[in-house]
A and B are shown apart, each in its own frame.
Chain A
Amino acid sequence: MFYDVGEKRVGKVLKTARRYLTWIQNSVLEGDLSPATFEALKIDVRKILDLQYDSVLFYAWRTERYMSREVVGVERGCTDFMV
């Protein structure tokens, strides 16, 4: 999920998204969601947005098999389930 929203709403969007996904870097979160939780996230986010001004993008993969992810520089957040 990538978001670009008005300054007044960034905090709210971040807090909501963090309940579902893991923070990766500013305005970017990752995670894997079931179809239902994905819908729930979209509903929660939509409540905050000013739909005339803000935009939020979701990139979804049906399986992780065809996805690759490369980091250049510092890895700021990770989705590891062991902490």
Chain B
Amino acid sequence: MGKTLYLLSSGSLKRKDNTLFVERVGEKPRFLPVETTDEIMVMGELDLNKSLLEFLTQKQIILHFFNYHGYYAGTYYPREHMNSGAVILAQAAHYTDEARRHKLASTLIVGAIENMRKVVAYYQRRASLDVEDILSDLERFEAMAPQSGSVPALMGIEGNARNRYYQFFDRLVQDEAFKMVERTRRPPSNRMNALISFLNSMCYILALSQIYRTHLDPRIGFLHETNFRRFSLNLDLAEIFKPILVDRLIFSLVNRREIQEKHFEKETGGGIYLNDRGREIVLRAWETRVNETIEHPRLKRNVSYRGLMRMEAYKIQKHILDDTPYDPFVSRW
């Protein structure tokens, strides 16, 4: 599995000597190894040209762009290199078949809620928190999911479960500076919301990059409505991993005081965002986290969370091809 490159500062990226070359003002230009790169995250201002994009297409490197606030802006998704008519057809057929779509969507939600419960239970043990009420509500939502009538109803259950789950954040995090009170987006109204939004989008992007390496089409999601906007399958996939990757990382960053008040800024328009320093800390922690390995229970070998995400995509692919029914990844602790 290749590496992820983060371009935080501004400059230009080009193809030179058949590899990648970055130039920045006031700093020495640098060559970057193209053969070991899988994806590039562009946070700063970047000049690039078409020959670079052609080169990236040839090397199957995916490019993600973020705006000034660190919001996801878009992706250069190179020409599909894993073409499979059979998978696309199966995926579309699975989407249009209401009953089968509902089944897969509810499995995704059950997996997501189960991972939320694992996170809550972990901190209940570790910090001896009083969270029985949240745990039992989550359990109730989890049981409701397979019985719900439609996919929109499922989305409702998911939303309710997540709201309840977010109440656990304020019980765990004692630091007043990181109280969430309620979940707000666009713009995030406080530091906790800013962290959640930023890392959630990193999780969606991670899922998208992994889907690119499978035969699946990221535009056809099952839980999230397929529409004219953009990718949705990656949102489905990320749902399973958000509690384990995003939320756990937030708690450790905040509780260890690696991320502090000084890493945020208030912007005109009322939103609170990570500043450059804060963003770099979070991204380094994120990159370390997704490269962390765990022993896979069935394969009996170490797999990184990034690899696990890819395997999750393969599992969905197998499910829609009627090979093996999808069984979501659930963390064991």
We find that the number of chain B residues with CB closer than 8 angstroms to chain A is 24
Q: Which of B3, B6, B35 contacts A83 (CB 8 A)?
A: B6
Q: Distance (Å) between the CB of A77 and the closest chain B CB?
A: 8
Contact status B283-A82, CB under 8 Å: yes
Looking at chain A's contact residues, the main secondary structure is loop
A19 touches B30 (CB 8 A): no
**Does B184 interact with chain A (Cβ within 8 Å)?**
no
Tell me, yes or no, whether B19 is within 8 Å of chain A by CB: yes
CB A76 to nearest CB in B, in angstroms, measures 9
Q: Are the C-beta atoms of B33 and A83 separated by less than 8 Å?
A: no
Contacts of B18 in A (CB 8 A): 15, 19
User: What is the bound-complex CA distance between A68 and B9, given in angstroms?
Assistant: 29
* B19 A19 Cβ-Cβ under 8 A: yes
CB-CB under 8 A for A82 and B33, given A15-B18, A19-B18: no
Q: How far is the CB of B28 from chain A (nearest CB, A)?
A: 9
Known interface pairs A15-B17, A82-B280, A83-B22; A22-B33 also in contact (CB < 8 Å): yes
Query: Which A residue's beta carbon lies closest to that of B18?
Result: A19
Closest Cβ of chain A to B43, distance in Å, is: 9
Q: In residues 273-318 of chain B, which contact A (Cβ within 8 Å)?
A: 280, 283-284, 287
Q: A74 CA to B276 CA in the complex, in Å?
A: 27
Residues on A lying within 8 angstroms of B by beta carbon are: 15, 18-23, 31-34, 37, 40-41, 77, 81-83
